[in-house]
Structure formats: C-alpha cells, structure tokens
Structure 1
Amino acid sequence: MSALAPQGIAYLSAVLRQNGFVVDIFDTTFYTSDLTSDTNNEKVYLSIVRPFNWDEKGITPQPGDMLYDFAQKIEEFQPDLLAISVVESTWCIADIMLQNLPRRIRTIVGGVFPTYAPEIVIAHPNVDYLCRGEGELALLSLCTALADGKDTTALPNVWAKIDGTVHRNPLGSTLTLDDLPLPDWSLFEEKSLYRPMQGHVYKTIGVETQRGCPYKCTYCNSPANNELYRNQKVGAFYRKKSIARIAQELSRVVDMYSPELIYFVVDTFLAMSDRELAEFSEMYQDFKIPFWMNTRAETMTPWRAEQLEKMNCLRVNIGIEHGNDAYRNKMLLRTVSSERMLEAFQACSGRSFVCVANSIIGFPDETRDLVFDTIEFNRRLPRDIEASGAFIFTPFHGTHLREVAVARGYLDPATICASNVTRGSLLHMPTLSPEELLGLCRVFSFYVKMEKERWPEIRLAESNTAEGERKFKELRDEFVERYRNSTINPKEATGVYTSLE
C-alpha cells in the first residue's frame, strides 16, 4: 500500500548500521492476499490514475504466503528486536503479523498511527514498545539500551510496557535534518524500489527536503505533529534540509542506485521562498532526474512553474480538496480562493510536466450539492490538467475532522481506518450515505470530463447494481479512450479557463 519504499525505514536502517547494529527487513509490498490491498489497481479501475504494467520492468507479485514467509524470516535472522512501521490503514496487517509471531520477540511499533493512537497499539499483547513522533534517535536509544542491558523505561519518544506497566514518556528534542546519515536504500530488494507513475514503472527513490508542513488542513495529521511538538516544547516539527545536504543525498543515490524518478517526500514541496526555489532549481538542474512532487495552489506562480520545467519535473499534484469556497475555508481551514487556485492551474497549463488536481469528497456534513461544487470547479480547469478522480475522506487519528465526525455522531470513536481512500466512507451522515459517496467516487472522473448532457446516464453508473456496473464499464472504456489514450496539445490548452460544456 505504499507509494514508494519508505524513506523513514531507510533512515532508521542507516542510523542503526552506523552504530554497529545488524539490520534486515521483511517487506510486504508485493504480496497479494486477503490482508493486503492492491491500491494502485483500484485507482486504475476508477480511472484515478493511468493504467500501468509491472511487466514493463519484469516485476511480479511476491509468491508464497506472507505470514509463512514472515515466520521463516524471523527464524533465519533471529532478531533481538522486531520493529514494525505502520500507518493507520496498515495496522490491521501489523496486528495479524504480531499475533502470528513464531516465538516471543521484543517488539516496537512506530509511525503515525502509534503517535496518535498509542493506547490502541500499546494494548496489543505482543507489543512491548511504541514510538511516538520521530524514530531515528528513539530506536537507536532503545537498541543501545537493550544491547547494554540497561533500563528502557525512560527513553524519550518511547512508551515501554514492562511487566504489564506502561511507561509513557514525553518526546525528546527534534533533530537537525542535516545531521541524519544518508538513507540506507541498500536494505531493500531491487524490485522494491520500483513504483508506477503516469502509466509507467520507474526505479524510484524518495528524497525528503522538508519534514512537516506549515499549513493547518483539518483532514491531515501534519498540523497535529506541529501542535504535539510545540506543546511539549521540544522544538519545531516543521523544518528544512539545506540545499547542500539535498545535493549530497542526490549525488549518493545517483551514484549507487541510478534512479529513473525522484519522489519528493514532502507535504508541500514549494513551501519555500523564491530565493530558496531559485537556489534549489540551480542545484537540481545538475541532475535533471524526472521527479514527482505535491504542493498547494498558493505556492504556484508562472515563474515557479517555469523553474519546475527547467528541473525536468514529470508530475505535480495540487490539492483542490473542495470546490466550495465557504465550505473549504470554514471546514478545511484552506483559505485560498477559487480564483487563486485557478491561477495556479493556469500557470501549470501547457507545460512540459503533467499537473494533477486532487479532490476529496465525503467530508463531515457534505451534501450531494457540495460534491457537485467540487465537480463544477474541476470542470473550470484548463483541459490539459488531469482532474479526474476523487478520494473519499478518511477520518484518520490525529486529524481535526475525525474529532468533528465523532462529536457529531457520524463515527464510532473506536473506529480504526483500515479501509483505503477508494473503498467507501466510514462516516454515517444524514446528508450523504456511504453507498452514495462510493457511487460518486466511481464516476467522479466522468462528471468532470464528459458533457453535461451525459450526466443522467453517468448517474445510472453510480448504482451498485448489475445495470449500474454495466453502464460504469461502458463509460469507463469511453473515458479511457477519450482522455487516457489521447494527448491534448498543450499549446491548444492554454488561455482562458474552459468549462467543457
């Protein structure tokens, strides 16, 4: 379920190996079973992303039974500590793996889910430790203490469960990103470095330029990181690497791994001044490796889009999230206006890179009319902006909108978000049912790109019936032929915003 081999794990391995610890990995990425989901192919089915073929790089699903192979790995490697990294939607997989340990091993679980749902994680009978917040120094301090036979109950960022007693420790000071060792990508199998993007499979390396995000979106848990670290007075969570350090990291990955694509692991890549971007652009033009990045409309201008072209950008994702100004400002705390967002997408129109508009539906109190405000906004974008597909809001722990959903009775507070963002809503609202949201998600692309006189038949494809499925497949095939298999001339796509009506 990961977009790329996790850079966080590459950092953890580098820190541990630098200090003499022996490290190995069990990677679940390419296993296919009831425990895992093929998120990429689900997005292809819903026309959110372009079709791709793993065979392009000779990659096949991992054969065998994941839990059996996991047990075999433990018996072969004989670990003293098992460290599991999870997000909320993969906790269910970690839970099953922990239950099926072939023998009792000390364990630690880290990641965003243990940070914001620590009581759930530490209550697992086979979890001994968990890490809240950053893990590089925390995991090193735990491994060092275990190796030296020292007390592990007072380590910063670490909760320890010893003889049934949980020791809940506060966070330690943030580290300087430039002080981290270079990520250890050698830990991963060669095929684990390959990921799909824009219909092709690339050898992809993640590069972190910043950690955290300066914005306060209520559907995201990045603001909670800022608040957590600020409240405990341990330093700012949002911080940046120096350009010199980024250049050093890029040189290393080019020399050792020859990446075909760089995936900038940053919430808002262009959250930098023009001076910083000019310096970054000049540095990156020495590499010119195609790259993906995510940013916000407020950070995009024609000059910045020009810099991305000079750097050989492949794809830019910009979040719309919602098309209604009042709802977007009040509920999502995104104060950017629709006109400013249109200017940002216009700046990206006709460029050498692909620009994608991201939308989310199914927020608390959303109605069908509000969903269509988002559809109508997408229809105003330049024709060459890929504005197809929407994700369904997921109320992850650590997000403000989860608290809103629980307070309004739309969500059981015990809910763990194990389903992914294309499978339906976890909220039970009087304004939009989970079934209606799933139907809207299925056909969102069609409403955005096809003529309005087609809307009645598109609505037929929303229904989860034999007739609805037949109509969906018919429209999807037409959509792929018209909008996926054809290329719009960027020169023809520039100019005034189009409505597609």
Structure 2
Amino acid sequence: MFRIVLISLYDMGTHGHRCLSSALKHHGFEVHNVYFGDKVIQDVPQTSEKELLSFDHLVQQLRPNLVGLSVTSLFSHPLAANLSSRIKSFSDAPIIFGGPHPTIVPRFCLEEANIDYVCIGEGEESVVELCKGLSSGKKADDIPGIMTKESRSYLQRNPPQVLDRLPFQDIANEHKYLILSDGSVIEGEPALRGTFYNTKCSRGCPFRCSYCSAAYLRSLCESGKFYRKRSVQNVIAELRRYLEMNPNCSAMGFWDDNFPFDLPWVEEFSSQYKRFIHLPFHIWAHPKTINDRLMGALKSAGLKSVISGVESASDRTRKEIFLRPESREDILKADLVLSKYGIEKTYDFITDHPWENQTELKDTFELLTKLKRPFKINMHNLFLFPNTDLARRAIEEGRMTEKEMIENIISNVPS
C-alpha cells in the first residue's frame, strides 16, 4: 500500500495536517503522522540532536513513499529544509511542502534542493490526486494546486466549497508519533492525551487585513466562496465524537480566523452546544463582529474567553495601513459587551513598524487606559510576509525587498 508520512513542526494542534490525513485515509492510503516537538517553534531555544536522531530513525522505519511537511510560516522553513535534507540522505521518497508558507512563496520553497512538490492552498483534493498518480506510477504534472520543481507553474484549484463533505480531522491513535526534545518517541494521538480540543467551524476570513496572508489566499479562489462555514450539526457531531474518544476533555477551542458571526448560525450553535457539549470554549473574534446578541448567546453556551485583534488605536493606521474596517468606537463598544458578559478578553496589538508615528503609538497606550479591566494584551512586532498587501506596499515604497523580508524572519528563528 502507498504509504505517506505527514510531519508537523512544533505544532501538536495542527488542524490542516489532521484534515489532510483524514482525506488521504478516506481514499485508502496508509498515513503515518509525526509530530516533531512538543513546544511552539518560537519557544524552542535549539532543536536538539537527540530529536533529530530520533526523527531519522523513525522515518527510516516507516519507509514512506511520500513525505509531506506542514510549513506554517517562514519561521519553520529552516527546520523543514533541514529535515528534508536528512530524509533524502536515506530515502528516495519525494517530499512535498504544504501550508500557508509554501502557498505564498512556492518558488522560494522549490529552490530547496530536496523539495519535489509544493501544495498551494487547501490540500485535501490536490494531495489526494497527487498520491493517486504517484501510487500508479504516473507523473504529477498538471495537477491543480500542485507545483513541481520541473514546472515552477501550476493550475489553480478552488478550495472545497461544502466543508460538511470533508471527513473530520484525524485523531485516531494508530500511526501517530510525538518526538520530544529528549529524543523519546511517544506513540498515540497527542490530542487524545490532553484535556483541550481545538477545531474550526469555518475556513477563510471575511476580512482583508493588509498584513495577513488571507487576502492573498482569497486571490487563489477564482470562483466560489473563499469564506465558508460548516453546518452546526457537522461541528457538533465532530465535538461529540471527540468526547466519546476522550472523556477527560475540559474545554474546546475554535481557532477560526474569525468565529462565525451569522446570528441564526450562532443561535443554533449555542443551543446545540449547550445541549450536547456543555464545556467552556474559546474563540477568536474581530471587534466588528462582537455585539450584544452574539456574545449573549455564546456566553449562555459556555464561551469563556475571546482573543481579538485591535492592532492599533490609530484610526489612520488601522484603515489606511492595515486595511481594517473597525473604528475606535467599535473597539470600545466590543470591549463593553465582553465585559458585560464576564468574558475573558485578550487583545492583540502590532507595534514596531515604520508606518506609525510616536503620537499614534501613544494613542494605543491611551486606549489601553479606556478598556475595562481585567484584560490581557499581546504585543507583536510586525513581520512582513511576502505577497501580503502590506509587503507589496513596503517594496513599492522602497522600505524592504522580498529577500530582506525573508532574511529578517529567518534570522529570528533559533538555530
């Protein structure tokens, strides 16, 4: 049987990886999932030699016909390239990169000597088609959504439109391996050993923030919808399945770019979640979508916390630089709603970039004094990712080249 090894890098919660695994299994392929590391990549001081040796030994034992690496950003590119080189030293299996990073800069990824393919966009259909071709001895040319080292071009593939038709993410215990920093390997699905489960109710994002890859991903969707959501019944069925497999679960997380804000959908979700799940849950939400009726319904179902991007107190920065539609008044109204329902609040801000002056930076700190306590804040430096709207603006204004952007990000990754 054609055997695929999928590898995630310091990301045990990887949703796309597990969804791809399910799709491949659904089509009859043998899939092994390797979770490299039990931390987040920015928190890893240095990849240990013990981890690398255990990785080599495990992949050699699995003897894959195809290896896929989930590369979520430029932060994980150096490690993905290193692991690919190690794999090629003992295996002739082709290697494919997938995830947001290779989708945005596929040709940059294919410059790596050991990378054979790049998956562009959501991979369930493209990678399944690739595996069907490889397993029958056919070439992988002209598969929509797949770029090869030879062609350096590709046919676009629209993302799956009806999410309910896709299998739930793969959380079975079989063929799962977690490599720890001390080199030990734990078999079994990491998601079944914890008390927290994360999933998504939707794909895509209804907003077009200039620093985010979502706007670029939207451009890959030639027809159909970019922002799609699952039915409430489908989401609840996935959560009930997880609770049957892991009764120790104590909370749920929905890592949608923005939690669905359609009121009928939210009201149905709240009713069904309260009836069948009844556990605390956490979401991401845009200030523009936070209102009394939505938060009231979600709070009644168990909503415990919200992470929301504010990014800057300056209306000019948000609207002209970040291309965000919310006003300062919207932010303050959203804050009052969350406080009214006792929902824990975390706000994201972007600092340290050339488009905001000192006065506007002070406005951000002034805004913090007007938000109702308690709340948490996450302060982020702005990293420009290639092919985002803001990255293109920086290049046009002569602030940075694409090569400098890539080097700037990679230089911040522990070696």
Q: TM bucket by the smaller chain?
A: 0.7 to 0.9
Mark the CA change 1:143 to 1:191 in structure 2 (over 3 Å): closer, same or farther: closer
Mark the CA change 1:205 to 1:112 in structure 2 (over 3 Å): closer, same or farther: same
Is 1:290–1:313's contact at 8 Å kept on the other side of the alignment? yes
Report Cα offsets for 1:270-314 as digits up to 9, x if no partner: 4x2222211111111121222211011111112222222212122
Name the CA distance, whole Å, in 2 between partners of 1:390 and 1:167.
Answer: 38
Name the CA distance, whole Å, in 2 between partners of 1:21 and 1:416.
Answer: 38
Aligned residue runs from structure 1 range 163-202, under 5 A: 165-166=150-151, 168-175=153-160, 176-186=162-172, 187=176, 192-193=190-191
Aligned residue runs from structure 1 range 391-470, under 5 A: 391-415=380-404, 417=406
Name the CA distance, whole Å, in 2 between partners of 1:313 and 1:292.
Answer: 6
Q: Report the TM-score when normalising by structure 1.
A: 0.72
What one-letter code is carried by the residue in structure 1 that aligns with 2:208? K
Q: Report the TM-score when normalising by structure 2.
A: 0.86
1:148 paired to 2:136: yes
Alignment correspondent of 2:267? 278
Mark the CA change 1:222 to 1:188 in structure 2 (over 3 Å): closer, same or farther: farther
Is 2:10–2:38's contact at 8 Å kept on the other side of the alignment? no
Alignment correspondent of 1:5? 13
Alignment correspondent of 1:355? 345
Is 2:171–2:189's contact at 8 Å kept on the other side of the alignment? no
Alignment correspondent of 2:42? 37
Aligned residue runs from structure 1 range 7-22, under 5 A: 7-22=15-30
Report Cα offsets for 1:359-386 as digits up to 9, x if no partner: 1112342223222211111221001222
* Percent identity of paired positions between Structure 1 and Structure 2: 25
Is 1:171–1:234's contact at 8 Å kept on the other side of the alignment? no
Structure number with greater Rg is 1
Which 5+ residue runs of structure 1 have no aligned equivalent? 43-60, 196-201, 425-501
Alignment correspondent of 1:24? 32
The Cα shift of 1:414 comes to 0.8
Name the CA distance, whole Å, in 2 between partners of 1:250 and 1:140.
Answer: 25
Name the CA distance, whole Å, in 2 between partners of 1:248 and 1:113.
Answer: 31
What one-letter code is carried by the residue in structure 2 that aligns with 1:98? S
Higher strand share: 2
The Cα shift of 1:251 comes to 1.2
Is 2:310–2:348's contact at 8 Å kept on the other side of the alignment? yes
Name the CA distance, whole Å, in 2 between partners of 1:372 and 1:4.
Answer: 38
Alignment correspondent of 1:86? 71
Mark the CA change 1:419 to 1:71 in structure 2 (over 3 Å): closer, same or farther: farther
Name the CA distance, whole Å, in 2 between partners of 1:20 and 1:159.
Answer: 24
Report Cα offsets for 1:207-227 as digits up to 9, x if no partner: 211100111111111121112
Name the CA distance, whole Å, in 1 between partners of 2:128 and 2:210.
Answer: 33
1:139 paired to 2:127: yes
Task: Decide which of 63, 66, 75 is 2:51's aligned counterpart.
Answer: 66
CA RMSD of aligned residues (A): 2.6
Aligned residue runs from structure 1 range 43-58, under 5 A: none
The total of aligned residue pairs comes to: 387
Report Cα offsets for 1:369-426 as digits up to 9, x if no partner: 222211111221001222x3411111112311111222223223113557779x69xx
Mark the CA change 1:415 to 1:105 in structure 2 (over 3 Å): closer, same or farther: farther
Is 1:31–1:66's contact at 8 Å kept on the other side of the alignment? no
Report Cα offsets for 1:175-228 as digits up to 9, x if no partner: 221110111112465573389xxxxxx622222111001111111111211122
Report Cα offsets for 1:131-180 as digits up to 9, x if no partner: 0011011111111111111221111100123xxx2252212233221110
